[in-house]
């Protein structure tokens, strides 16, 4: 009998075909998240699940899925998964590293440039008929070229953000759980304690995973350490930042601006307080959102799923 798997979202066709060739597959064939009760019911008979970061994979779900061997999460992050509960039951977790590194680093740069050069504010101003003339002080921002870039969380994505900084003649700083001689050698980036990095950087980019250690890492104290001209960017996970503190900090003008791809509770609506601030650029969690990268993420998750349910080794075990 072919292994039974459940996929929690509509996937690009090549990824689906990869799974269907080896498995008895059922799909929540929608662009919206699978309802919890549907997922719980589908998990009951599943050998494997291919999941999204919006699916909560916890003890309750695992209790409902006695035959489960693998959760293939279509993301590099896996804070939606209770890893301890999986380990306790011997269920394998896989993720999709590497394939999204460059694309997500590009997103960090999109937000850095957009926030520093007031792109969204300018676009809105034109739309509102507010563009009067060229003038010396009109909508002036801050230079990216030649500035100091500080990356917090210098793994694959953080490293790629730093490498791009070389092309902009930036001074490179990073903070990480542990120092990386390899990264320092590759990029010339200098390791700093977090507080020192926050005080020195013109651009602070967060690329750390969400863990017990990074949850709420950025609060009023950290924002107060930043330069009044600093730009703060988060392409990692919303809960690393205390959003209410960021709101107050941006209102007070320190940091000077922020670019966020992630939020404490996603999705956010038009009534979110941060959206009322002119110095905030928001994106709806688009870090890995290119056609090519999403296809690679889907096929990577599919290959991991198939490998484990057919008795092989996972390609990207967590
Ligand atoms: C997206 O946020 C991911 O973790 O892949
Ligand atoms: C994720 O890929 C990271 O290491 O930043």
CATH number at residue 296: 3.40.50.720
pLDDT at 133: 95
- The torsion angles phi and psi of 145, rounded to 5 degrees, stand at -55, 130
List residues near ligand 1 (CB under 6 A): 53, 75-77, 100, 287-288
pLDDT at 97: 98
Ligand 1 pocket mutation pick from 57, 75, 211 by most atoms within 8 angstroms of CB = 75
pLDDT at 1 over 90: no
Q: Which atom of ligand 1 is nearest to the CA of 74?
A: 5
Residues 92, 115, single domain; the answer is no
288 CA to middle of ligand 1, Å?
Answer: 7
Contacts of 206 (CB under 8 A, 6+ apart): 152, 153, 218, 232, 233, 234, 235, 236, 240, 241
16 CA to middle of ligand 2, Å?
Answer: 25
Q: Which residue's C-alpha comes closest to atom 3 of ligand 1?
A: 75
- The torsion angles phi and psi of 171, rounded to 5 degrees, stand at -80, 130
232 CA to middle of ligand 2, Å?
Answer: 19
- Residue 287 maps to a domain: no
Q: Which pTM value belongs to this model?
A: 0.96
Residue % of the chain over a pLDDT of 90: 100
pLDDT one-digit tens code per residue, 128-171: 999 999 999 999 999 999 999 999 999 999 999 999 999 999 99
Ligand with minimal distance to 287 CA: 1
Query: In the sheet where 171-175 sits, what is the strand order?
Result: 190-191, 171-175, 148-152, 203-206, 231-234, 257-260, 280-282
The secondary structure of 143-198, three-state, reads CCCCCEEEEECCCHHHHHHHHHHHCCCCEEEEECCCCCHHHHHHHCCEECCHHHHH
Indicate which residue of 118, 173, 285, 303 is catalytic.
285
Residues 169, 236, single domain; the answer is yes
Average pLDDT, the chain: 98
Residues 121, 235, single domain; the answer is yes
pLDDT one-digit tens code per residue, 177-199: 999 999 999 999 999 999 999 99
pLDDT one-digit tens code per residue, 220-269: 999 999 999 999 999 999 999 999 999 999 999 999 999 999 999 999 99
- DSSP state, residue 288: T
Which residues form the domain of 255?
101-282
Known catalytic residue at 266: yes
Residues 93, 105, single domain; the answer is no
- Residue 161 maps to a domain: yes
pLDDT at 125 over 90: yes
Burial 42-63 (b: 16+ CB within 10 A, else e): bbeebbbbbbbbebebeeebbe
Residues 106, 89, single domain; the answer is no
Indicate which residue of 9, 237, 294, 303 is catalytic.
237
pLDDT one-digit tens code per residue, 263-308: 999 999 999 999 999 999 999 999 999 999 999 999 999 999 999 9
Nearest to 140 by CA among 156, 171, 118, 121: 118
1 CA to middle of ligand 2, Å?
Answer: 37
Ligand with minimal distance to 151 CA: 2
Ligand with minimal distance to 235 CA: 1
Residues 241, 261, single domain; the answer is yes
Mean pLDDT computed over 36-48: 97
- Confidence class of residue 111 from pLDDT cuts 50, 70 and 90? very high
Q: How far apart are alpha carbons 218 and 216 in whole angstroms? A: 5
Known catalytic residue at 285: yes
**Number of domain units in the chain:** 2
pLDDT at 289: 98
């Amino acid at each position: 009998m072919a292994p039974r798997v459940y996929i929690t979202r509509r996937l690009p066709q090549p990824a689906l075909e990869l799974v269907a060739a080896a498995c008895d597959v059922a799909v929540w064939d929608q662009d919206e998240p699978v309802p919890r009760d549907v997922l719980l019911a589908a998990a009951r008979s599943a050998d494997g699940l291919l999941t999204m970061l919006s699916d909560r994979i916890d003890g309750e779900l695992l209790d409902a899925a006695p035959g489960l061997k693998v959760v293939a999460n279509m993301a590099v992050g896996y804070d939606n998964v209770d890893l301890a509960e999986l380990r306790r039951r011997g269920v394998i977790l896989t993720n999709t590293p590497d394939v999204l590194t460059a694309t997500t680093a590009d997103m960090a740069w999109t937000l850095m440039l957009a926030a520093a050069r007031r792109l969204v504010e300018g676009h809105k101003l034109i739309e509102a008929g507010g563009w009067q003339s060229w003038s010396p002080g009109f909508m002036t921002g801050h230079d990216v070229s030649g500035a100091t870039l500080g990356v917090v969380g210098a793994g694959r994505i953080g490293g790629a953000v730093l490498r791009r900084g070389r092309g902009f003649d930036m001074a490179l700083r990073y903070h990480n759980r542990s120092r990386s001689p390899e990264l320092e050698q590759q990029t010339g980036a200098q390791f700093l304690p977090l507080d020192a990095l926050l005080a020195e950087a013109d651009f602070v980019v967060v690329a750390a995973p969400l863990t017990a250690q990074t949850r709420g890492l950025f609060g009023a104290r950290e924002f107060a350490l930043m330069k009044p001209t600093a730009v703060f960017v988060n392409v990692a996970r919303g809960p690393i930042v205390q959003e209410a503190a960021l709101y107050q900090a941006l209102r007070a003008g320190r940091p000077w601006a922020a670019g966020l791809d992630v939020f404490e509770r996603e999705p956010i609506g038009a009534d979110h307080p941060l959206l009322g601030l002119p110095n905030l650029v928001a994106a709806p969690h688009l870090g890995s959102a290119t056609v090519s990268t999403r296809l690679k993420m889907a096929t990577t998750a599919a290959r991991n799923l198939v490998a484990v349910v057919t008795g092989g080794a996972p390609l990207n075990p967590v």
